[in-house]
């Protein structure tokens, strides 16, 4: 009995170290075993399109979003935030006691995601209200998304390219439609008129207005505000 237990512990230890025996012990065979032990060949096909930078300057749109939320007295909301920045201004501000809005952010920058990990490690109270995923917004899965009160599409049309097509990414219109479908009736969808890609985004917004039941509410500085009507 003792010998068997010791053997299993050794195997488990070997698994955690990346050993072949450990991978087999856990039922990993073939390709999975190769991946577990680092011996799998390189994946074929296009790589994920990432943002290879760490944006630390707080954008006007992020600052103005918080101002708009305060102006509208929106607290306790569920917010989807497209593009966190390495500063994570929106998540930090929304987590404050006077707002307590819950933010689900997405970034395609591993550096910005690393900043998030450091942030919530040092300030775990923020983690309760601010979750960030590293990913491509053009690969959204609607089944993994809850319903939101506010959706920010500040960076629409900024990151999509031929590489996105190569791995079957959504179009900007499809992203806008999907996230609108995940917004509750009466909720808000926001765009950023100061985006460097706002000209192509305007064409997408015009199509989106025809395909979804939304109404333009107005602008708050550089933030263009829509409401979902049904």
CB 156 within 8 A of CB 54: no
**Residue 74 counted as domain residue:** yes
Tens of pLDDT along the chain (230 residues) come to 434 444 444 433 443 344 434 443 334 444 444 454 455 555 578 999 988 877 788 989 999 999 999 999 999 999 999 999 999 999 999 999 999 999 999 999 999 999 999 999 999 999 999 999 999 999 999 999 999 999 999 999 999 989 999 999 999 999 999 999 999 999 999 999 999 999 999 999 999 999 999 999 999 999 999 999 99
**Does residue 50 sit within a domain?**
no
Question: In terms of domains, do 21 and 81 share one?
Answer: no
pLDDT, position 33: 44
pLDDT of residue 43: 58
Does 102 share its domain with 214? yes
Q: Do residues 7 and 118 share a domain?
A: no
pLDDT (0 to 100) of residue 127? 98
DSSP conformation letters of the chain: -HHHHHHHHHHHHHHHTT-HHHHHHTT--HHHHHHHTT-PPPPPSPPP----S---SPPHHHHHHHHHHHHTT--S-EEEEE--TTT-HHHHHHTSTTT--EEEEEES-HHHHHHHHHHHHH-HHHHTTEEEEES-GGG--GGG---EEEEE-TTTTSS--HHHHHTTPPPHHHHHHHHHHTEEEEEEEEEETTSTTHHHHHHHHHHHHHHS-EEEEEEETTEEEEEE--
Same domain? 67 vs 178 = yes
Give domain status of residue 45, yes or no.
no
Q: Which domain holds residue 157?
A: 60-228
Supply the pLDDT for residue 42. Answer: 59
In angstroms, what CA-CA distances link 172 with 24, 144, 217? 43, 19, 21
Torsion angle in degrees (nearest 10) through CA of 167, 172, 177, 181: 70
Number of domains in the chain: 2
- 180, 208 in Cβ contact below 8 A? yes
């Amino acid at each position: 009995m003792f010998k068997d237990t010791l053997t299993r512990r050794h195997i488990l230890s070997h698994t955690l170290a990346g050993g072949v025996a450990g991978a087999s012990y856990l039922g990993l065979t073939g390709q999975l075993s190769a991946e577990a032990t680092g011996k799998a060949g390189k994946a074929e096909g296009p790589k994920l399109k990432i943002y290879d930078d760490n944006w630390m300057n707080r954008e006007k749109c992020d600052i103005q979003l918080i101002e708009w939320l305060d102006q509208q007295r929106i607290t306790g909301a569920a917010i989807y935030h497209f593009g966190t920045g390495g500063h994570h201004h929106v998540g930090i501000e929304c987590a404050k006691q006077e707002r307590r809005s819950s933010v689900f952010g997405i970034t395609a920058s591993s550096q910005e995601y690393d900043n998030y990990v450091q942030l919530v490690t040092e300030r775990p109270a923020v983690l309760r209200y601010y979750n960030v995923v590293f990913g491509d917004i053009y690969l959204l899965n609607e089944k993994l998304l809850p319903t939101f009160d506010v959706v920010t599409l500040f960076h629409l049309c900024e990151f999509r390219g031929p590489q996105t097509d190569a791995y079957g990414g959504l179009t900007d219109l499809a992203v806008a439609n999907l996230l609108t479908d995940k917004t509750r009736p009466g909720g808000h969808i926001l765009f950023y008129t100061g985006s460097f890609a706002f000209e192509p985004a305007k064409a997408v917004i015009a199509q989106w207005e025809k395909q979804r039941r939304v109404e333009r509410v107005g602008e708050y500085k550089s933030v263009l505000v829509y409401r979902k009507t049904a």
